[in-house]
């Protein structure tokens, strides 16, 4: 896991690993974790390896998580001197909640004339499964509990009948967001540069050296003066790229 995806689990994560993988091991009819490790080490079982990564890295997420970050984003974009293109990268996009939240905010800002019409969002993740779900853009209503009634009306469709309790993101938001698979522990090619990058709630899976490498690699495709967001609880990573702190978890790239 560490060599392939940079995932680092110390002894304190033992119960998490057991709870996330035990059901899968039973479903496969294996005798225990030793058999499962042997399966994962078999190069012909790449799909099962991806399944294990998915099970160990999928986090609970919801729309407009850490709302103060969106307040910073709105203020900083509104204060830009020009209304030129805006490129945003959700670098650990999971099920797409973050990417679509950002798209709703930017759509509102465009509607009010605070930014121009040329903006786009890229969402990437290491998990193929969560990316497929993100592209479908169908969510339990509870995941949108922090979305205002006005935005729900403008950008969402409520399910009826068999789909009651589910919400579909409208095409006018979905067409602004592209998704693709990317491993943050490998060189980043052919994307960027970006004006805004979210890298929230993914560094918890990496050890300290890997955190620094990943953050500097990601910041390499952020424009000078661009905005960078980490999870508030993650603190500031001791990266080599100079950053100005705007508030907890919110930074500007210096230079």
Catalytically annotated residues:
20, 125
Closest CA to 47 of 67, 68, 24, 26: 24
How many other C-beta atoms are found inside a 10 Å radius of the C-beta of residue 29? 7
Cα separation, 76 vs 71, whole angstroms: 9
């Amino acid at each position: 896991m560490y060599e392939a995806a940079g995932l680092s689990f110390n002894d304190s994560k033992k119960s998490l690993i057991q709870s996330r993988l035990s059901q899968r091991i039973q479903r496969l009819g294996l005798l225990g974790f030793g058999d499962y490790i042997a399966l994962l080490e078999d190069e012909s079982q790449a799909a099962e390896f991806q399944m294990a990564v998915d099970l160990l890295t999928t986090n609970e997420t919801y729309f407009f998580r850490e709302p103060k970050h969106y307040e910073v984003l709105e203020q900083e974009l509104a204060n830009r001197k020009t209304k030129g293109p805006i490129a945003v990268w959700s670098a650990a996009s999971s099920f797409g909640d973050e990417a679509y939240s950002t798209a709703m905010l930017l759509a509102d800002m465009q509607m009010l004339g605070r930014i121009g019409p040329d903006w786009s969002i890229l969402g990437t993740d290491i998990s193929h499964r969560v990316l497929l779900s993100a592209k479908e853009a169908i969510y339990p209503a509870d995941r949108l509990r922090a979305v205002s009634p006005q935005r729900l009306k403008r950008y969402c469709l409520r399910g009826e009948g068999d789909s009651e309790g589910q919400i579909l993101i409208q095409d006018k938001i979905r067409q602004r967001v592209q998704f693709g698979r990317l491993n943050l522990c490998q060189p980043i090619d052919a994307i960027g540069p970006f004006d805004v990058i979210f890298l929230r709630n993914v560094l918890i899976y990496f050890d300290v050296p890997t955190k620094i490498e990943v953050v500097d690699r990601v910041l390499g495709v952020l424009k000078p003066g661009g905005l960078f967001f980490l999870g508030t609880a993650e603190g500031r990573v001791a990266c080599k790229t100079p950053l100005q702190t705007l508030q907890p978890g919110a930074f500007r790239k210096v230079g």
